[in-house]
Amino acid sequence: MTIDERKNNNLTNNNMVQNLLLENREKLTISGVLDVLSFDDQIVILETELGLLTVKGENLRINKLSLDTAEVIVDGEIYNLGYSEKDLDKKSSGGILGKIFK
């Protein structure tokens, strides 16, 4: 199943389930992952069913990546987890120019 098919399937079912399990700030298990957008030893950016998830820390590594089961395991020293909007285009249209030219 491709990423687009999974996205369309999730939109039709409205079954957006995501679990985050953080163990001792060293092991993060994430379900509901659609894609890994970027990663290095200090930041991992994931596209999830509920938006973009940014994981920050040190010595980060992806221990398990399974897009079939939509699960990712990140190991390392985890300092920060943060979500951002799923659709960045919607956010940019509400900028200052969008407000001026309403």
Question: Higher-confidence residue: 97 or 26?
Answer: 26
pLDDT digits (tens, 9 = 90+) for 28-87: 999 999 999 999 999 999 999 899 999 999 999 999 999 789 999 999 999 999 998 765
CATH number of the domain residue 32 falls in = 2.60.40.2000
pTM, full prediction: 0.70
pLDDT for 79: 96
pLDDT for 12: 47
Q: Which domain holds residue 52?
A: 3-100
pLDDT for 2: 56
Pairing status of strand 51-66 against strand 20-23: unpaired
| Residue 78 backbone zone (phi > 0: left; psi -120 to 50: alpha; other: beta) | beta
pLDDT for 16: 72
- Number of structural domains in the chain: 1
